[in-house]
Amino acid sequence: MIIKKSTAVLVGTFIATVWFVGCQTTYYAMWEKMGKEKRHLLRDQVENSRNDQEKASEAFKDALTRLKEIYGLEGGDLEKMYGRLSDDYDNCQERAEIIDERIGKIQRIASDLFSEWRQEIDQIQNPNFRSQSARKLKATQSRFESLESSLLIARKRMNPVLANLRDYVLYLKHNLNAQAIGSLKGEAASIETDVDRLVRDIQRSIKEADAFLKDFEK
């Protein structure tokens, strides 16, 4: 069992390396040997995007909770609270970067899948089959565009929140005192509004992923 698990990890790592160096033909060929075609890879990446976004949502909510703890801090170890907020910011930044990578993979695979699909439609001799396949492609592309848009909107919404969190972390780093806490309190409404909006956009994006996956399997 241990050997099999290690082998799977090595294969996954090698495939990921192939992906990043840009050899798409080799990447797809390797997966096809393992029984996965482009549609399976796209489905997997969209499913993974749901996970990534859920984790990002939790990370931003945790950072907001930490800020609220600092707002209400009376005495205590401000240095420790600053360290925790800094860690929360780093986690949010990391989650955003993971989503950037995921979106890139989704866009690349979808583009390659749709291109292949169009080429294969031209090879179909039966006019009825060709027409049905073309309609399916058009519907899938339309659904994908909605998914892609929701992913990009949610990701873009992270930028102002990340910028604010970075400002708060740097400000606290230079001003570990009660006055700094008072200044942060004045910013509370803005950051809470931004995080709430971000979480809503993420949930909408996750629903779009669910809808895409449901239609994609039909």
CA distance 16 to 111: 18
174-207 per-position pLDDT tens digit: 887 777 777 777 777 788 899 999 999 999 999 9
User: Per residue in 52-64, pLDDT tens?
Assistant: 999 999 999 999 9
Domain boundaries, the chain: 1-36, 37-216
pTM above 0.85, yes or no: no
Which of 207, 206, 212, 209 lies closest to 53, judged by CA? 206
CA-derived radius of gyration, the chain? 22
Burial class of 12 by CB neighbour count within 10 A (0 to 12, 13 to 18, 19+): exposed
